[in-house]
């Protein structure tokens, strides 16, 4: 299908992008990798009057691992995340998510900022960001503000970004004992269910755990009951880990579609949460 007619402008800095968002108002959309926006426009689910291309803002690209802190620019593409050796050590959960996301074309064009801002309920990164307790830097007309990942995702395709703001980077503390595993849709590779785990281990036991899931409800979510149940569990005790993660799918009515029922998604959430914890514990 052919999108509605639109104007195209290119921003060469974050300030210029914010000015352009202010000028064009709610009828404008930022263009990053275009991997979600362009299909939405072709299907006419989105019909922005102006596209503000942010792809030529070099300051928004790059991965920095500095001591214990990892910072990733919003325009960094999935392929760069999937190939980064420092990130693989510092936060294997994110590295793994990038490696199993979409296909090579999507990984080369799509960006972490675009994925998080799009907030697809089946996207991989939101669960990882919650498990890493990431902090997002958002730029707007009044300067920058920090938003915790837990406060960023407000609904299906909805975030706490206002129409005049953009995501510029994400940052989190290194989590070497972390993992992301997913049951992917065979056609799109989106998560039917995805689970991220970040552990602190002491003497073979789980001292603390952060576990988050995606694909089940309108947004990714943390599983505090599971996190609590994992404390003190011997990491190599598969039976105990499975018992602790049994409730990972939550109590709500999970999303159903032609591929998987909500009941099935909830059952798979327990399986994949256990796998994520087991894998994180090996690191
Ligand atoms: C075939 C296919 C398979 C895919 N499989 C997966 C998968 O397995 N897992 C997965 O998680 N995703 C998957 N995706 C989505 C992919 O990850 C996209 O890259 C991502 O959703 C959007 O990133 P983008 O950079 O292309 O953003 P765009 O498509 O350019 O933008 C998406 C939205 O975010 C806004 N936006 C972009 N950047 C910013 C910013 N910095 N600040 C504020 N708003 C911004 C745009 O205005 C737009 O509304 C798939 C996509 C396709 C086409």
189-209 tens-digit pLDDT: 999 999 999 999 999 999 999
- What is the per-residue pLDDT across 123-146, written as a single tens digit (0 to 9) for each? 999 999 999 999 999 999 999 999
pLDDT (mean) for 64-82:
97
H or E, element range at 183? strand 178-184
With a 6 Å cutoff on the Cβ, whether 165 touches ligand 1 is no
Rounded Cα distance between 175 and 129, Å, is: 11
Rounded Cα distance between 71 and 123, Å, is: 20
With a 6 Å cutoff on the Cβ, whether 123 touches ligand 1 is yes
CA–centroid distance, residue 34 to ligand 1 (Å): 7
Rounded Cα distance between 77 and 258, Å, is: 30
- By the 10 Å C-beta count (0-12 exposed, 13-18 middle, 19+ buried), 282 is classed as exposed
pLDDT (mean) for 62-91:
97
Residue with tokens 């796998």: 275
What pLDDT is recorded for position 25? Answer: 85
> pLDDT category, 109, cuts 50, 70, 90?
very high
H or E, element range at 205? strand 205-214
- What is the per-residue pLDDT across 213-263, written as a single tens digit (0 to 9) for each? 999 999 999 999 999 999 999 999 999 999 999 999 998 999 999 999 999
What pLDDT is recorded for position 44? Answer: 93
Mean pLDDT of the chain: 97
Q: Which ligand 1 atom is the nearest neighbour of the CA of 120?
A: 21
CA–centroid distance, residue 110 to ligand 1 (Å): 6
On the question of pLDDT at 66 being above 90, the answer is yes
Mutate to test the pocket of ligand 1, among 36, 99, 137 (most ligand atoms within 8 A of CB): 36
What pLDDT is recorded for position 248? Answer: 97
**Please, which residues bridge with residue 183 across strands?**
193
Q: Whose CA is nearest to atom 28 of ligand 1?
A: 34
- What is the per-residue pLDDT across 6-44, written as a single tens digit (0 to 9) for each? 999 999 999 999 999 999 988 999 999 999 999 999 999
Residue with tokens 């960006």: 111
Q: Give the chain's end-to-end CA distance (angstroms, integer).
A: 46
Compute the CA torsion angle 189, 220, 38, 139 (nearest 10 deg). -140
What pLDDT is recorded for position 1? Answer: 78
With a 6 Å cutoff on the Cβ, whether 94 touches ligand 1 is no
Q: Which of 63, 109, 110, 68 is nearest to 84 (CA)?
A: 63
């Amino acid at each position: 299908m052919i999108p509605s007619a639109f104007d195209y402008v290119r921003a060469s800095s974050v300030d210029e992008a914010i000015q352009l968002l202010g000028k064009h108002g709610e009828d404008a959309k930022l263009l990053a990798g275009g991997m979600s926006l362009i299909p939405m426009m072709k299907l006419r689910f989105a019909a922005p009057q102006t596209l503000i291309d942010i792809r030529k803002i070099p300051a928004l690209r790059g991965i920095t691992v500095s001591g214990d802190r990892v910072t990733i620019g919003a325009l960094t593409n999935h392929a760069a995340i999937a190939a980064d050796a420092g990130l693989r050590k510092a936060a294997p959960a994110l590295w793994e998510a990038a490696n199993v996301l979409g296909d090579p074309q999507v990984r080369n064009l799509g960006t972490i900022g675009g994925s998080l801002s799009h907030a697809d309920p089946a996207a991989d990164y939101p669960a990882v960001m919650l498990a890493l307790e990431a902090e997002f830097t958002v730029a707007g007309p009044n300067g920058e503000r920090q938003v915790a990942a837990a406060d960023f995702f407000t609904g299906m395709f909805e975030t706490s970004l206002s129409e005049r703001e953009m995501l510029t980077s994400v940052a989190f503390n290194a989590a070497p004992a972390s993992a992301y595993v997913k049951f992917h849709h065979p056609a799109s590779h989106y998560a039917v269910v995805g689970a991220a785990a970040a552990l602190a281990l002491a003497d073979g036991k789980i001292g603390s755990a952060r576990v988050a899931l995606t694909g089940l409800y309108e947004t990714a979510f943390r599983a505090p009951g599971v996190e609590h149940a994992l404390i003190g569990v011997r990491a190599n005790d598969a039976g105990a880990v499975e018992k602790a993660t049994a409730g990972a799918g939550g109590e709500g009515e999970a999303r159903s579609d032609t591929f998987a029922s909500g009941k099935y998604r909830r059952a798979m959430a327990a399986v994949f949460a256990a796998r994520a914890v087991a894998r994180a514990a090996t690191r």
